[in-house]
């Protein structure tokens, strides 16, 4: 098994890509902290992992809350003894609003969850990784992290920032045995659209230009396979990279 004996924290793991990552990591031998704001969903995922012979615990986490992030990482160490892999997967969408229609409260919430939560979780994990002399960080970015045409201004900016954090962290700690990479999923079957409300008609109409050339929609399990590669020793020479998993959606532009 490729993650035998490793301890992993996966945020946003009650459904979608996070659930698929948590389940695959457990199947590959990792002890998994299933973290999500949806406590019931996280418990169900952890229970399923244990029913299949894996090790997992569920932790209710609001990644916009600093205390929750600290508790999440502390729980991993208390329950499983250490932390080896941090997957910052939790995120929310905007309402496709262009910058002229962005509301401050929505902008702030999206950055609290998508960007500040990622920074805070990494910051909490770094001392553990430095003491061990190794550690892996995987951030779920988005094709919206390098394209301006896939979402509204707030989500796009938040994911551009996640890519910046990924590259900077990978570079800064490259000689400390710590790797930090990001996955940029294209259109994938998840429930992130549930976080969208009051859709902005203008912004949504503009994003349709690129949505019309999506080759196909991906499955969460396909993203999980990328996350497994990045967490394993097979990617030992991969650091500070943003890996697009989008069936070629962004390859032509």
Half-sphere exposure of 113 (CA within 13 A, CB side): 21
Q: Looking at the domain assignment, is residue 253 inside a domain? A: no
pLDDT on residue 210 = 85
Closest CA to 31 of 1, 70, 69: 1
For residue 238, give the CATH number of its domain.
3.40.50.720
For 179-237, the pLDDT digits (tens) are 999 999 999 988 666 666 788 888 888 888 788 888 899 999 999 999 999 999 999 99
Split into its structural domains, the chain has a count of 1
Give the predicted TM-score (pTM) of the model.
Answer: 0.95
Give me the active site residues, please.
155
φ/ψ of 138, rounded to 5, equals: -125, 120
The upper half-sphere exposure of residue 194, i.e. CA atoms within 13 Å in the direction of its Cβ, equals 8
> What tens digit of pLDDT does each residue of 5-21 get?
999 999 999 999 999 99
Distance CA 134, CA 232 (A): 12
Residue 252 lies in a domain: no
Cα separations (Å) of 29 from 1, 35, 46, 49, 181? 6, 18, 14, 11, 21
Report if residue 251 sits inside a domain: no
Domain assignment present for 29: yes
Q: In this structure, are residues 169 and 135 in contact, taking their beta carbons and an 8 Å threshold?
A: no
Q: What is the pLDDT of residues 94-149, one digit of tens each?
A: 999 999 999 999 999 999 999 999 999 999 999 999 999 999 999 999 999 999 88
In a domain? residue 250: no
Burial class of 21 by CB neighbour count within 10 A (0 to 12, 13 to 18, 19+): buried
Residue 23 maps to a domain: yes
Q: Which domain holds residue 55?
A: 7-245
Say if residues 96 and 207 touch (Cβ distance below 8 Å): yes
pLDDT of residue 127: 98
Distance CA 104, CA 102 (A): 7
Residue 123: partners with Cβ closer than 8 Å, 6 or more residues away: none
Q: Is residue 91 assigned to a domain?
A: yes
Confidence of residue 43 (pLDDT cuts 50, 70, 90): very high
Q: Is residue 144 part of a domain?
A: yes
Longest CA–CA separation in the chain, Å: 51
- What pLDDT, on a 0 to 100 scale, did the predictor assign at position 39? 98
């Amino acid at each position: 098994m490729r993650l035998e004996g490793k301890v992993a924290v996966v945020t946003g793991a009650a459904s979608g890509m996070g659930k698929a990552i948590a389940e695959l990591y457990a199947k590959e031998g990792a002890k998994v902290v299933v973290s999500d704001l949806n406590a019931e969903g996280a418990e169900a995922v952890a229970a399923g992992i244990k029913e299949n012979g894996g090790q997992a615990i569920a932790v209710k986490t609001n990644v916009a809350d600093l205390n929750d992030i600290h508790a999440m990482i502390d729980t991993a160490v208390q329950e499983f003894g250490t932390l080896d892999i941090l997957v910052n997967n939790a995120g929310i969408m905007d309402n496709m609003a262009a910058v002229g229609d962005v509301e401050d409260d929505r902008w702030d919430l999206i950055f609290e969850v998508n960007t500040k939560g990622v920074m805070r979780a990494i910051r909490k994990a770094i001392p553990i990784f430095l003491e061990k002399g190794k550690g892996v960080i995987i951030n779920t970015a988005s094709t919206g992290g390098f394209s301006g045409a896939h979402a509204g201004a707030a989500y796009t900016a938040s994911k551009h920032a996640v890519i910046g954090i990924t590259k900077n962290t990978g570079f800064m700690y490259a000689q400390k045995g710590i790797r930090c990479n990001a996955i940029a999923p294209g259109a994938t079957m998840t429930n992130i659209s549930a976080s969208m409300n009051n859709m902005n008609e203008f912004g949504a109409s503009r994003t349709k230009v690129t949505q019309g050339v999506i080759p196909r929609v991906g499955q969460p399990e396909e993203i999980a396979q990328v996350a497994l590669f990045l967490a394993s020793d097979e990617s030992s020479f991969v650091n500070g990279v943003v890996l697009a998993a989008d069936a070629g959606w962004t390859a032509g532009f």
